[in-house]
Structure 1
Amino acid sequence: MSVKQLAMPLIQEQINELRAGDRVELTGWMYTARDAAHERMVEMVQAGGTLPVDIAGQTIYYVGPTPAKPGQIIGSAGPTTSSRMDPYTPVLLSLGLKGMIGKGSRSQSVKEGIVQSRAVYFAAIGGAGALLAKTIRSAEVVAFHDLGPEAIYRLEVERFPVIVINDICGGDLYQQSQSL
């Protein structure tokens, strides 16, 4: 199976071509955010405020990287369980979020939101945080500094390996693999 090379931020034409099970390597810029940052972003939106970063057309990686050792850009950067972001994801999708990276399955409401928003959910390899960190070329905290590793980072990645789990057609790799 071939690996698709995609540049970020993702464009809709790229997303439209992706199907559950596709192997992808991402290159470009993405944001990170975990539970606390998601909760804070949704609270800001619900209070009528604006987000500290424009997520329209962007990809969020669900990761809380460990501190970098001397000479490293970032510490271990493995995915966290995506379902913890599910209560907040529909709001972010409605604001134009186009890609999400994590591990594990998503709720039905998120899967429906992915189809409606024409977005994509990727899985990264759990337990491979040190390997994934090697694809990160730069990392900068851009919001919620007080959250430490759960702050929002802007990452530049090169050939970051993921697999499409949920696509714009309602495809779900986890469900498909269970029916084999």
Structure 2
Amino acid sequence: MEEVKMERISVCTEEIKQTAQQLRAGDTVYLSGTIYTARDAAHKRLNEMLDRGEQLPFPLVNAVVYYAGPTPAPAGLPVGSCGPTTSSRMDVFTPRFLDLGLKAMIGKGDRSAAVKDAICRNNAVYFCAVGGAGALAAQSIRSLRVVAFEDLGCESVKELRVEKFPLIVGIDCQGGTLFR
């Protein structure tokens, strides 16, 4: 059995365009900076906005999207639980978003061949967060702001500021993957 390396790398979201090319499947990453949450319903609306030629509520170029729906925050905290959802539900939209400049996604589970091809084509990266550990993941979130689709509740698009958010590179831009 092939041994997976577990190198720990600090990554800033503002430098994700350059950093993505150096990351390899199996790397442990501590991500800091701005990320956006978006799940199924939000992806559908974002795609419809693109179809109509409308400006998106956040810049897609060099963005990091987290497939999560944070729960309401308890007193004194920016967010409640914030664990990843199954990424494959966004696969129908992801190649288009990557081709338009999205640089990284965070979720759980394997991705389709079309998404893997788009990750390689666009020098992007797919990070995996630990499923079932949403309360632990929330400890890395410093602030939360709703930026679009407030009517979707926990599935609205939110801007998060994260610090040392623990992730594993699931698929790298060279085609390396943890999923076989």
TM-score of the aligned structures, taking structure 2 as reference length: 0.95
SS of the residue 1:9 aligns to: helix
Superposition RMSD in Å: 0.9
Q: 1:3 aligns with which of 4, 8, 24?
A: 8
Gaps of 5+ in 2: 1-5
Q: Cα deviations across residues 117-137 of structure 1 (Å, max 9, x unaligned)?
A: 110000000000000001000
Structure-2 separation of matches of 1:115 and 1:30 = 21
The question of 1:92 aligning with 2:97 is answered: yes
Aligned mate of 1:43, from 48, 54, 79? 48
- Name which of 114, 119, 122 aligns with 2:119: 114
| TM-score, normalised relative to structure 1 | 0.95
1:23 aligns with 2:28: yes
Distance in 1 separating the partners of 2:11 and 2:60 = 18
Residue 126 of structure 2 is aligned to residue 124 of structure 1: no
Q: Residue by residue, what CA displacement relative to the aligned partner does 1:80-135 show, whole Å, maximum 9, x if unpaired?
A: 00000001101111110000000000000000000001100000000000000010
Deviation at 1:2, TM superposition (A): 3.1
Match of 2:62? 57
Q: Which amino acid aligns with 1:27?
A: S
Which residues of structure 1 form unaligned runs of 5+? 176-180
CA distance in 1, matches of 2:30, 2:67: 17
What is the alpha-carbon distance in structure 1 between the residues aligned to residue 81 and residue 107 of structure 2? 14
Sequence identity percentage: 54
Q: How many residues align?
A: 175
Tell me what 2:3 maps to: none
Q: Which runs of 4+ in 1 moved over 4 A?
A: none
